[in-house]
Amino acid sequence: MKLIFSSIDLVRVSELKGIIETAGIACFLGNEAATKLAGGVPLGETLAELWIEDDSRLDEALQIKQDWESPQADNGTPWTCPKCGEKLESQFTSCWKCGTKKP
The one-letter code for the residue type at 12 is: R
What value does the mean pLDDT of the chain take? 85
CB 57 within 8 A of CB 25: yes
CA dist 29 and 52 (Å) reads 9
Residues 3-60 have pLDDT tens digits of 999 998 889 999 999 999 999 999 999 887 665 555 555 556 678 999 999 999 999 9
SS3 59: helix
Query: What Å distances lie between residue 62 and 19, 24, 42, 43, 46, CA to CA?
Result: 12, 14, 27, 24, 22
Tell me if the pTM is above 0.75.
no
Residues 64-103 have pLDDT tens digits of 999 898 866 556 788 999 999 999 988 888 898 898 888 8
